[in-house]
Structure 1
Amino acid sequence: MAAVKNIRVLANSIQNVRVFALRAASSSSSGDTPTHTGQQFEKDDYRLARFIETPKQVNKQFAIDLINKVPPTPQKKRVISCDGGGGPTGHPKVYINLDKPGNHICGYCGLRFYKDGSHH
């Protein structure tokens, strides 16, 4: 009997959240801004209930765009290491082989390197 009561309470709670979200979505005057992953909510999506008092905050400076602004770094050595700047803002040290021509990208931070003397 207690399980049935809990299911009814849960069903009522879900319905209340949907109604609350629909009201929030209908009161929103601006469209939903997509995030860097392309996430964008429809006007009747219940997840919009999180953004009732303030609009959804979307950082327009996506990491991939910022890292692409950094030009590739020329290196003299055949094998270099990248630690993302070290310290708490860095990443584990990785070694990158620059034998082949062109840019070589760090798998952690996206910085690009090329061997000086080879075309890039």
Structure 2
Amino acid sequence: MALRQSLNRIPGFSRGLLNSHGTRSLVSTTNVLSAPSKDTPTHTGQQFEEDDYRLVRFIDKTKQVNQKFAIDLIAEVPPEAKQSRVVWCDGGGGPTGHPRVYINLDQPGNHSCGYCGLRFYKDSHHH
């Protein structure tokens, strides 16, 4: 009921045609929404046009976009030096981890875990 009241406040939305169940449903007569003029893009670049019907969920609310993207948080963690040729990563283990994967460090450079993105490299420095 609250959604129906919100939709009735939008210019261009009205009660319209009967649906397949024989009840009246809300039908958009135009694609004009009273949406914010500036839509904040998400980390994937998703950004709605001003007349997009999906903006109806942001009536009387602001769209909240988390600016701390996972890829940026992982990039802040420095690569971990290892002495062995093969290492394993389980994302920290326990309920917040992931299945254990083995990573070969034979090639030079950083090697990322396919699950969590943590990076490892072989420290060739001998003592």
TM-score tier by shorter-chain length is 0.7 to 0.9
Partners of 2:23 and 2:76 in 1: CA distance: 49
2:6 aligned partner: none
Give the TM-score of the pair, scaled to structure 2: 0.75
1:106 matched to 2:116: no
Aligned mate of 1:13, from 26, 36, 47: 26
2:39 aligned partner: 32
Q: CA deviation at 1:24?
A: 2.8
Give the TM-score of the pair, scaled to structure 1: 0.79
Aligned mate of 1:56, from 55, 60, 63: 63
2:48 aligned partner: 41
Q: Which has the higher helix share?
A: 1
Q: CA deviation at 1:69?
A: 0.8
Deviations 1:4-29 (A, max 9, x none): 9535978952326x66xx3331xx3x
- Pick 1 or 2: higher relative contact order, CA cutoff 8 A, min separation 6: 1
RMSD over aligned CA atoms reads 2.5
Aligned length: 109
Partners of 1:46 and 1:35 in 2: CA distance: 17
Aligned mate of 2:78, from 66, 71, 79: 71
Q: Following TM superposition, where does structure 1 have runs of at least 4 consecutive aligned residues deviating by more than 3 angstroms? A: 7-12
Gaps of 5+ in 2: 1-16
Q: CA deviation at 1:77?
A: 1.0
Partners of 1:92 and 1:10 in 2: CA distance: 50
Query: Does the residue aligned with 2:114 lie in a helix, a strand or coil?
Result: coil
Instruction: Indicate conservation of the 8 Å contact 2:33/2:50, yes or no.
Output: no
Partners of 1:112 and 1:63 in 2: CA distance: 14
Q: CA deviation at 1:53?
A: 1.9
Gaps of 5+ in 1: none
Query: Does the residue aligned with 2:51 lie in a helix, a strand or coil?
Result: coil
